[in-house]
A and B are shown apart, each in its own frame.
Chain A
Amino acid sequence: MTAPALPADSVGIVTPEKLAFHGPLSLDCGRILPRFDLMVETYGTLNAQASNAVLICHALSSDHHAAGYHSPSDRKPGWWDVMIGPGKPIDTRRFFVVCCNNIGGCKGSTGPASTDPESGERYGPDFPIVTVRDWVRAQALLADRLGIRRWAAVAGGSLGGMQALQWAMDYPERIAHAVVIAAAPRLSAQNIAFNEVARQAIRTDPEFHDGRYYQHGTVPRRGLMLARMLGHITYLSDESMGSKFGRELREGKLGYNFDTEFQVESYLRYQGQAFVDRFDANTYLLITKTLDYFDPAAEHGHDLAAACRQARARFLVVSFTSDWRFSPARSREIVQALVAADRPVTYGEITADQGHDSFLMPIPDYLRTLSAYFDRVHQEIAAHAR
């Protein structure tokens, strides 16, 4: 049987590469990673001036596989395939696109499931809590390794957008554009509360064994599944759930029992179960902490505008009307601070009913906004080359 041809606007078959970094990495928590690996994918070609590189930052549950397919038989492409490819908004005929699995991740980069070189044991719960700043520091080392002095753009949605914001503040000379989508300048108490319920679901699973489940040969499936189900509710909107499932019953009638009766229950269970097979519970715990800790204004007297004054990049901030996890109001906080700091910023508020997940969806107005912006980024690169 021949596999169906890949779409013409796909980057095609891609192969991730594991890059080893042997120097120690100092972390915000005070600890040091003696060495670390980053799993990396790249698409397109770096130009001679190394001026066309775009860094893509991933969110909570995604990884380095942002676009294309790992094999012709893959059912699904990378997580941001709608955005990256030939002729797509982040056009791989123009840009050299880089995406890495962050440290603490579970897709090949050094994380809780990796072996601690000092103890010879898996890190498990002893893996340091990493911050968005730590990730950005590691990504800067990756840029050095790839010969990229300055990114044409750093882009991401949700937690990925937070990394783009942090890049602009921590390495102002190394980023020309920051594309911050469906993000927030810090988590609200409600956001942290949801994360805490997710963590409790995992940590109270009897199979969790204080995070040393690798040694026990178990997986806290139930807890991780619950965490994902809860998270998934916050990624969707009431409208999108309503239009997708409504109150539809699987059997067409009430069964007066606790089986999976409504379609939405069945969907959430499926999402939760599928997640357990592809994600590590310790990584999930860790990254919810990374989210909770993110607060770039904190070191500037809780003045976000003061933090934004560090930046030299131009900004694109995008939000979605139905996103209640990081609502448009949260994006406007970022815009407001950038305006107060006199930094160039464009803000698009996209009408969409898919909730927080909108940033992954092929929504025409969203794609056109990104296309227009990246056209501009490309024109700047071309003008500089002349």
Chain B
Amino acid sequence: MRADLAIISDWIDTGSRVLDLGCGDGILLAHLQAERGVRGYGLEIDQEKILACIGKGVSVIHADLEAGLRDFADQSFDYVVMTQTLQAVQHTERLLEEMLRVGREGIVTFPNFGHWRCRLQLGGSGTMPVVKALPHAWYNTPNVHLFTIRDFEALCQRKHIEIRQRAMVDTAHRSSPQLRLFPNLLAELALYRLRQRP
């Protein structure tokens, strides 16, 4: 299993109710169901991925995240999870609000655009970065909002979102002391546990 998913799995309480936005092939929910007795639903728009979820016995709901989460009631889930999708949606800010409306907690992961390789490519060669966590060229990338760890934390502060926990991993999806010291420079992937302050 992907290291980021293993970290998320550790953050989620046994028997909780989880909504996974952009759940892909359902690997996280299948794992959480089997290992943590979680009751969950995945939202997905891609037909092939929906079929993969069905094959895993994951409850998957065809939905377009850009339309928001209006079918889901306030605070109706323990966790709303979104892995590596926040940068690929049009209405990033609204979706973040929606996550924390529907979930008591939100868990997001995203590729850090502040990573030194990105900086080197943009600052050095003057081209848009293509790195392992962001493998697409500028003209065919699904990502529409690229941001750094510092950008994200500034947004959380502005929106009164409490950061309950965070984790940073590098290319090999490992953590290290240096990484904890300079996350915005060394982390490829950032993981956050969030809660909306009243």
Contacts and interface: CB of A to CB of B under 8 A. Distances in A.
Contacts of A365: 47
A335 B42 CA distance: 13
Contacts of B17: 342
A375 B62 contact: no
B54 A369 contact: yes
B65 to A, nearest CB: 14
Given A342-B39, A348-B62, A365-B47, A336 B71 contact: yes
B76 interface: yes
Contacts of B63: 347
A344 B59 contact: yes
Nearest to A348: B62
Contact of B61 (A335, A368, A372): A335
A339 interface: yes
B50 A369 contact: yes
A26 to B, nearest CB: 36
B61 A345 contact: yes
B54 A347 contact: no
21 contacts: A314-B59, A336-B72, A339-B61, A339-B71, A340-B76, A342-B39, A344-B39, A344-B59, A345-B41, A345-B61, A346-B50, A346-B53, A346-B54, A346-B58, A346-B59, A346-B60, A347-B62, A347-B63, A348-B50, A365-B47, A369-B51
Contacts of B57: 376
Given A335-B61, A339-B41, A346-B60, A376 B55 contact: yes
Q: Report the contact-size class of chain A (Cβ under 8 Å from the partner).
A: 20 to 34
Contacts of A349: 62
Contacts of B34: none
Contacts of A336: 71-72
Given A335-B71, A372-B55, A347 B61 contact: yes
Contacts of B39: 342, 344
A369 B61 CA distance: 12
A324 interface: no
Interface in B1-56: 17, 39, 41, 47, 50-51, 53-55
Interface string A360-386: 000001001100110110000000000
B172 interface: no
Contact of B71 (A332, A373, A376): A332
What secondary structure prevails in chain A residues at the interface with B? Answer: helix
A336 B58 CA distance: 17
Contacts of B59: 314, 344-346
A75 B42 CA distance: 43
B54 A373 contact: yes
A102 B54 CA distance: 31
What secondary structure prevails in chain B residues at the interface with A? Answer: mixed
B48 to A, nearest CB: 9
Contacts of B55: 372, 375-376
A372 B54 contact: yes
Contact of A340 (B47, B58, B61, B73): B73
Nearest to B56: A376
Given A340-B76, A346-B53, A373-B54, 20 more contacts: A314-B59, A332-B71, A335-B61, A336-B71, A339-B41, A339-B76, A342-B17, A345-B59, A346-B50, A346-B58, A346-B59, A347-B60, A347-B62, A365-B47, A369-B50, A369-B51, A369-B54, A372-B51, A372-B54, A376-B57
Contacts of B71: 332, 335-336, 339
Nearest to B45: A349
Q: Which 4 A-B pairs have the closest CB atoms?
A: A372-B54, A349-B62, A347-B61, A336-B71
B61 A346 contact: yes
A64 to B, nearest CB: 29
B31 to A, nearest CB: 17
B33 to A, nearest CB: 10
Nearest to B59: A344
A372 B50 CA distance: 10
Contacts of B58: 346
A340 B50 CA distance: 21
A121 B72 CA distance: 54
Interface in B100-131: none
A376 B53 CA distance: 11
A344 B61 CA distance: 10
Nearest to B53: A346
Nearest to B50: A348
A376 B54 contact: yes
Nearest to A375: B55
B16 to A, nearest CB: 12
A32 B161 CA distance: 62
Contacts of A375: 55
